[in-house]
Structure 1
Amino acid sequence: MRRHLVPAPDDAVWPAGVRPVELSAQNAPAVHQLLMLGREYGGGRAPDYATWLDAFETDPEFDQALCFVVEDAQGVVAVVQCWTSAFIRNLVVHPRAHRQGLGLALLNQAFSAFRQRGEGHVDLKVMESNLGARRLYERAGMQYIQRHELEPR
């Protein structure tokens, strides 16, 4: 799916009780744990913690400034990790915070960051069977640009 960045994306509107924070050494384990939880609920992939963390130092696609984290009173509750190539790699909202607007707010934050970087669009991949994610991406103004058949396992 793709979201063109003209017109400008909406501002991120954060629900009450949450706050965006930077990815840090303190919250990185919880962020990775949430990414792993996301694999169970909707797909996506995240390597083991050490590999994931090391990639921020060694992989040019990884940039801490493009890993947007949200916390609530219980800790890390949502994350969207993007690649420098204007690609949304993973978006996960903890089940305790579903249907509160965090996913849309994170997408708008990512769209704005890429627009500030001079990108014309942002892409992502989503499984056809992940209806909740597809609806969210459609609400965020993303459009289907290409579909692939799954290869048999």
Structure 2
Amino acid sequence: MLDRSRTYGRSPRDLRPSPYDASTGHYWLMRRDLGLPRRAVVWPHSLHEVEFTTENAFAVHQLFMLGTCHGGGRVGDFTTWLNAFESDPEFDRQLCIVIADPLGVVAVAQCWTSAFIRNLVVHPRAQRRGVGLALLDRVFEAFAERREGHVDLKVMECNLTARHLYERAGMQYVQRCELEPR
């Protein structure tokens, strides 16, 4: 029997779960090689990038909290999370990419300085419009500008929608991992 808790095969391209692999007890490490060609960032109509600020931080955090309800993951309480931008070297305001429409914040990607996508969420009112793919393209652009070779993230195995998005963005499966009990 194949042990998928470790990397295997000649390359990450050999590693791909089936659509039926949807364990709630496992997650995947995925990676995007930034040496590969990238798409230009194109935002859907009425959407635009805005700076992450103290004024929109609460709306950003609320969207992350909504995302944890639907896709898993963890986000600290608002004060702890916001203070980390001042105290944690992995947090960088320039790597918190915020997308808005006329009603407010609709998508956010928070990345760490170690070329890791910590959280990525698209509000339900903006889903299925190409926002997630454009947001990933923007993340890849940001890390390419920083001369990083690749970008990583973790995704719950049972989050088939996110996995499909990441596959479409050119991310490859690297390793299947078991969740540690909380």
TM-score range, shorter chain: over 0.9
C-alpha displacement of 1:9: 1.9
3-state secondary structure, aligned to 1:122: strand
Specify the alignment match of 2:116 in structure 1: 87
Going by fraction, where is helix more abundant, 1 or 2? 1
Alignment-derived partner of residue 61 in structure 2: 32
Partner AA of 2:168 in structure 1: R
Deviation of the 1:86 alpha carbon:
0.1
TM-score by length of 2: 0.82
* Cα deviation, residue 148, structure 1: 1.0
Q: Deviations over 1:27-48 (max 9, x none)?
A: 1110000001000010121100
- Structure 1 residue 59, shift from structure 2 partner: 0.1
| Aligned-pair Cα RMSD in Å | 1.0
The answer to whether the Cα contact below 8 Å between 1:8 and 1:112 also exists between their aligned partners in 2 is no
Structure whose alpha-carbon radius of gyration is higher: 2
Q: 1:46 aligns with which of 36, 56, 75?
A: 75
SS at match of 1:141: coil
**Equivalent position amino acid for 1:36 in 2:** M
- Residues 56-95 of structure 1 aligned to structure 2 (within 5 Å): 56-95=85-124
Partner Cα separation in structure 2 for residue 150 and residue 88 of structure 1 = 18
- Number of residues paired by the alignment? 153
Paired position in structure 1 for 2:133 = 104
TM-score by length of 1: 0.97
- Identical counterparts, % of pairs: 67
Unaligned runs of 5+ in 1: none
